[in-house]
């Protein structure tokens, strides 16, 4: 039997768990999940005391912690107030994640609006360097996970998040398979598609196959890309070939389930993954 190298998480407090983020850590373990993603999407309100308790519970229960930074982020914005807000949100998210013993906070990079793709890239790079400077000054240790976005109007295609990593080592690509499919960045349909995707990313991001971070759900999409997330049973993109590919290729990392069925679907994916070990 192969080694179990992929951990599954619910994006936010599992439906079956009572209480808040602290209780969700133990509850995730009781459900059989080895990771948990905190949702700071509507703002970071976590106090340091609670965060430290989360860290202790995560250690005790062997649950890996990550987080999703607030939605109100646009690293490409040209408005001063929004630049400051973006820096504050990513920083607070990274800081709270660090307190919780987490290693990565995921963020949506931004929007092109009137900028060219190159201008958007340079703007984002500048903002992320400012975030890093603030993190270093306050000794915050957390990886910034740039998520592949689902809308064509958004900055954060696969090539762009890889380039962010290439130019800023503290940024790690986060693969959202549904978004890759919806935006038309990659097919994500067959086992071979998934394998090629990982091979391609691994070539540019050294060690990615040993510590990938990803989001999974099914998705409804149209010409402009993402519309909304769906349960994995919708099979767009299909989860089974991904699970088989991850197991058979000895890839390590995390799959965070963002379907409306959260942990129910995370557990279905985990079961499918274990079948191929």
Interacting stretch for Zn ion, rule CB under 5 A, among 11-19, 137-145, 146-154, 162-170? 146-154
Residue 91 or 247: the one with the smaller Cβ distance to Zn ion is: 91
Q: How far is the CB of 74 from Zn ion (least distance, A)?
A: 14
When the beta carbons of 94 and 247 are compared against Zn ion, the nearer one is: 94
Cβ distance to Zn ion smaller for residue 147 or 226: 147
Dihedral pair phi/psi, residue 4, rounded to 5°: -80, 110
Distances (CA, A) of 8 to 16, 88, 152, 155, 189: 16, 29, 28, 27, 20
Please, which residue, 39 or 119, has the CB nearer to Zn ion?
Answer: 39
Least Å from the CB of residue 23 to Zn ion: 23
**Identity of the residue, 41 or 247, whose beta carbon is nearer to Zn ion in the bound complex:** 41
Footprint (CB under 5 A) of Zn ion, residues 179-208: none
Q: Which is nearer to Zn ion, 57 or 103 (CB)?
A: 103
Which of 8, 14, 36, 7 minimizes the C-alpha distance to 260?
Answer: 14
In the complex, least distance from residue 247 CB atom to Zn ion, rounded to whole angstroms: 25
Size of the site for Zn ion (CB under 5 A): 1
Site string for Zn ion, 94-133 (x = CB under 5 A): ----------------------------------------
Q: Supply the minimum distance, in Å, between the C-beta of residue 203 and Zn ion.
A: 25
Q: Which stretch binds Zn ion (CB under 5 A): 90-98, 141-149, 194-202, 263-271?
A: 141-149
Handedness of CA 79, 226, 180, 245 (dihedral sign): positive
CB of 108 to Zn ion, least distance (A): 6
Residue 275 Cβ, how far from Zn ion at the closest point, in Å? 28
Residue nearest to Zn ion (CB): 147
CB of 30 to Zn ion, least distance (A): 26
The torsion of the CA quartet 245, 247, 252, 254, rounded to 10 degrees, works out to 80
CB 70 → Zn ion: shortest distance, Å?
11
Q: Phi and psi of 2, rounded to 5°?
A: -80, 165
Q: Among candidates 146, 251, 241, 143, which has minimal Cα distance to 192? A: 241
Residue that the structure tokens 């978004």 belong to: 179
Contact criterion met (CB below 8 Å) for 273 and 246: yes
* For Zn ion, the closer CB: 147 or 160: 147
Tokens (6 digits) for 190: 């067959």
The CA–CA distances, whole Å, from 183 to 23, 193, 223 equal 36, 15, 9
When the beta carbons of 242 and 256 are compared against Zn ion, the nearer one is 256
Which one of the spans 10-18, 58-66, 147-155, 242-250 is the region binding Zn ion (CB under 5 A)? 147-155
Q: Which strand (E) or helix (H) includes residue 248?
A: helix 240-248
| Residue 156 contacts residue 144 (beta carbons within 8 Å) | no
Residue 13's contacts (CB-CB under 8 Å, 6 or more residues apart) are: 19, 20, 21, 23, 24, 27, 39
Residues that bind Zn ion (CB under 5 A): 147
């Amino acid at each position: 039997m192969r080694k179990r190298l992929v951990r599954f998480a619910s994006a936010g407090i599992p439906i079956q768990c009572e209480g808040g983020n602290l209780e969700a850590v133990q509850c995730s373990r009781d459900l059989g999940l080895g990771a948990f993603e905190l949702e700071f999407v509507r703002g970071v309100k976590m106090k340091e005391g609670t965060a430290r308790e989360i860290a202790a519970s995560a250690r005790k229960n062997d649950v890996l912690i990550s987080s999703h930074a607030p939605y109100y982020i646009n690293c490409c914005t040209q408005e001063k107030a929004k630049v400051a807000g973006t820096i504050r949100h990513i920083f607070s998210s990274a800081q709270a994640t660090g307190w919780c013993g987490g290693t990565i906070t995921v963020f949506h990079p931004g929007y092109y609006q009137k900028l060219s793709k190159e201008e958007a890239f340079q703007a984002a790079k500048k903002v992320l360097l400012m975030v890093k400077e603030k993190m270093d000054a306050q000794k915050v240790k957390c990886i910034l996970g740039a998520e592949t976005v689902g809308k064509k109007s958004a900055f954060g295609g696969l090539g762009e998040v890889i380039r962010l990593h290439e130019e800023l080592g503290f940024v790690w690509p986060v693969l959202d398979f549904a978004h890759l499919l919806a935006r038309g960045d990659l097919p994500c349909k067959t086992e071979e598609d998934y394998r090629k995707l990982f091979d391609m990313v691994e070539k540019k991001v050294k060690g990615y196959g040993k510590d990938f971070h990803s989001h999974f759900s099914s998705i409804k999409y149209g010409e402009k890309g993402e519309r909304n997330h769906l349960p994995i049973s919708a099979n767009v993109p299909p989860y089974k070939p991904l699970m088989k590919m991850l197991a058979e290729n000895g890839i390590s990392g995390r799959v965070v389930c963002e379907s409306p069925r959260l942990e129910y679907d995370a557990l279905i994916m985990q079961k499918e993954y274990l079948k191929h070990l």
